[in-house]
Amino acid sequence: MAGWKINLVAALLLISSQGHASQGHAGTAVRVTVHADQPGAVIHREIYGQFAEQLGRGIYGGIWVGEDSSIPNIRGYRKDVVDALKAIKVPVIRWPGGCFADQYDWHDGVGPRDQRPVRLNASWGGQENNHFGTHEFMDLAELIGAKTYLSINVGTGSPREMSQWIEYITADGDTSLARERRANGRDRPWRLDYIGIGNEMWGCGGSMRPQFYADVYRQYATFVHAPEHKPIIKIASGANADDVAWTDTVMSLAGSQIDAISLHNYTIPTGDWSHKGSATHFDEAQWMSTLQGALHMDELIARHSAVMDKYDPSKRVGLAVDEWGIWTDQEPGAGDAALFQQNSLRDAISAAITLDIFHAHADRVRMANIAQMVNVLQAMILTDKAKMVLTPTYYVFDLYKVFQDATSLPVDVQGATYRYGAVSVPGVHATAGRDAAGVVHVALVNLDPHHADTVQVRLDGLRASSVQGKLLTAPQMTSINTFDQPHEVQPTAFDGAKFGAGILTVALPSKSVVVLDIR
């Protein structure tokens, strides 16, 4: 451990020069070891997946404005949103729900738009005019280069409807459904990568018991006919948060037919679903409780994965955390924009912690889909008519895109604790990965809203001499980007990392995310 005896004074001067020194933490260096000599599993890029449900302004106004809109668009998709999504390399999009999916008839959403039926959106209120349907979704994915993940209607649908939907999308021959697709404007079949067989089958998907659902899953799985050489990955509807009994039963009864099983977990700042807390007006107690919620993902994955190990020790079956994020009260004045919430620096820190945890479990977690992509819950992007703003969460996905398909490198963190009242959590969170070009990326997150840290990063098994970094922070825990002030929380160049005696010393500001590229 001789490498740790570096010049602490120099490190503290570094912090002071950035104006972030704090009495409380001065002298208490945090030690991070990156085990570059012990590479782990690949961080599947699909961990950076998105979820887009037909609700509120998630689709209409957020992604789809129609070809005749005065808002600049590409064949009906907002150009600003498409460009922003491309920039973060969205790897996969889950659609059309959510709870919406188990009441969705795919046939409503194909054919001439002006002839599509208008239905009640029974899950989320308002009306669904079906202008955004199968063609619009599959073409959007193609436009931004994302894989496709359809949630299949199991609650009120049938295996026949599912098979026909899959055939409509993927058939290359001269079947009636392929002809119908061509008549509707798409000659070539699309690539369908994933299907979810039902959504939250324990709740809005049909209030099923796991034993019953396992049989229903087996029935549906039997009738998934993928085109030759283009397998469709089948994802079973998994547990709500810590309900490991659900995972256990479904894995035991249907595990051999499952490619992945899902897990849903939302962080509610107050812990009370009837009053979840504000996205913008919160105190340090709720800052802490929200970060604790994000940290809980580690235990959740470990517990579900341990149950899966009983039936699948080789980890053939993936865990797909296909709904996660912070869920607050709806933004006052959001009107019919259901589940519209603002997004602060707290969301960014929380997202970074969660992504770190997914990396650490990359051997089991093969996909994750934050809820949701635009204008709903912990969104990447908010829109209001022609205006658009990128959220702090967006910028974490932007900084972290370097981890997509990187090889995870184990990381130990010692010496940092953030305390608030009687509660304490690790003060610094970290992750690391090596990309295909050999560059090692290290992310450091400071959970403490008041104290900067000096972080000494030791890179075992790596000879490196150059470092570049980016920093995401803001003046307040509650700092947000608005349509009028869109640049309050956005990444800046970071020059607070220096090599010396084989150790990288990082002056990590309070409440911040730093991503370093090390060569």
**371 contacts ligand AHR (rule: CB under 6 A):** yes
Within 207-321, where are the H helices? 210-222, 244-254, 284-311
**98 contacts ligand AHR (rule: CB under 6 A):** yes
User: Shortest approach of ligand AHR to residue 275 CB, angstroms?
Assistant: 17
User: Shortest approach of ligand AHR to residue 323 CB, angstroms?
Assistant: 5
Q: How far is CA 184 from CA 1, 77, 111, in A?
A: 67, 18, 5
User: Shortest approach of ligand AHR to residue 53 CB, angstroms?
Assistant: 5
Between 47 and 371, name the residue whose CB sits nearer to ligand AHR.
371
Q: How does strand 417-420 pair with strand 423-426?
A: antiparallel
Positions 373 through 392 that interact with ligand AHR (CB under 6 A) = 377
Instruction: Say whether 167 is catalytic.
Output: no
Residue 369 near residue 98, CB atoms below 8 Å: no
Of the ranges 313-321, 370-378, 416-424, 485-493, which one interacts with ligand AHR (CB under 6 A)? 370-378
Between 90 and 263, name the residue whose CB sits nearer to ligand AHR.
263
The rounded distance, in Å, linking the Cα atoms of 333 and 317 is: 43
Q: How far is CA 373 from CA 88, 242, 382, 464, in A?
A: 12, 24, 9, 37
Query: Token match 């022609």: residue?
Result: 386
Query: Whats the size of the chain, residue-wise?
Result: 519
Query: Token match 């570094």: residue?
Result: 14
Between 341 and 344, name the residue whose CB sits nearer to ligand AHR.
341
Nearest CA among 371, 329, 330, 347 for reference residue 489: 347
The rounded distance, in Å, linking the Cα atoms of 267 and 14 is: 35
Of the ranges 92-100, 313-321, 383-391, 506-514, which one interacts with ligand AHR (CB under 6 A)? 92-100
* Residue of 46, 136, 167, 323 marked catalytic: 323
Query: Token match 């920093």: residue?
Result: 471
Q: Round to the nearest angstrom and report the end-to-end CA distance of the chain.
A: 23
Of the ranges 12-20, 112-120, 307-315, 371-379, which one interacts with ligand AHR (CB under 6 A)? 371-379
Of the ranges 26-34, 97-105, 138-146, 361-369, which one interacts with ligand AHR (CB under 6 A)? 97-105
The rounded distance, in Å, linking the Cα atoms of 134 and 140 is: 10
**102 contacts ligand AHR (rule: CB under 6 A):** no
Token reading at 112? 């001439």
Between 50 and 456, name the residue whose CB sits nearer to ligand AHR.
50
Positions 286 through 315 that interact with ligand AHR (CB under 6 A) = none
Residue 310 near residue 248, CB atoms below 8 Å: yes
User: Shortest approach of ligand AHR to residue 460 CB, angstroms?
Assistant: 40
Between 103 and 512, name the residue whose CB sits nearer to ligand AHR.
103
Token reading at 298? 């580690």
The rounded distance, in Å, linking the Cα atoms of 9 and 2 is: 17
Of the ranges 31-39, 91-99, 352-360, 431-439, which one interacts with ligand AHR (CB under 6 A)? 91-99
**509 contacts ligand AHR (rule: CB under 6 A):** no
Among 323, 347, 356, 448, binds ligand AHR (CB under 6 A): 323
Among 11, 82, 90, 99, binds ligand AHR (CB under 6 A): 99
The rounded distance, in Å, linking the Cα atoms of 230 and 412 is: 40
**329 contacts ligand AHR (rule: CB under 6 A):** no
Q: Residue 70: how many CA atoms within 13 Å on its side-chain side?
A: 3
Between 167 and 200, name the residue whose CB sits nearer to ligand AHR.
200
x-or-dash pattern for ligand AHR, window 45-84, by CB under 6 A? Answer: --------x-------------------------------
Phi/psi of residue 344, nearest 5 degrees: -115, -175
* Residue of 200, 299, 331, 488 marked catalytic: 200
Instruction: Say whether 323 is catalytic.
Output: yes
**200 contacts ligand AHR (rule: CB under 6 A):** yes
Within 378-509, where are the H helices? 392-400
CB-based closest residue to ligand AHR: 98
Positions 160 through 199 that interact with ligand AHR (CB under 6 A) = 199
Between 97 and 392, name the residue whose CB sits nearer to ligand AHR.
97
Token reading at 223? 């009738």
Residue 322 CB neighbour total at 10 angstroms? 29
How does DSSP classify residue 255?
A: G
User: Shortest approach of ligand AHR to residue 99 CB, angstroms?
Assistant: 4
Residue 9 CB neighbour total at 10 angstroms? 9
Give residue 146's Cα distance to chain centre.
14
**155 contacts ligand AHR (rule: CB under 6 A):** no
Between 200 and 329, name the residue whose CB sits nearer to ligand AHR.
200
Helix, strand or coil for residue 184?
coil
Between 21 and 241, name the residue whose CB sits nearer to ligand AHR.
241
Q: What HEC string does 453-476 produce?
A: EEEEEEEECCCCCCEEEEEECCCC
User: Shortest approach of ligand AHR to residue 262 CB, angstroms?
Assistant: 10
User: Shortest approach of ligand AHR to residue 80 CB, angstroms?
Assistant: 23
Residues that are catalytic: 200, 323
Q: Contact residues for ligand AHR (CB under 6 A)?
A: 53, 97-99, 199-200, 323, 371-372, 377
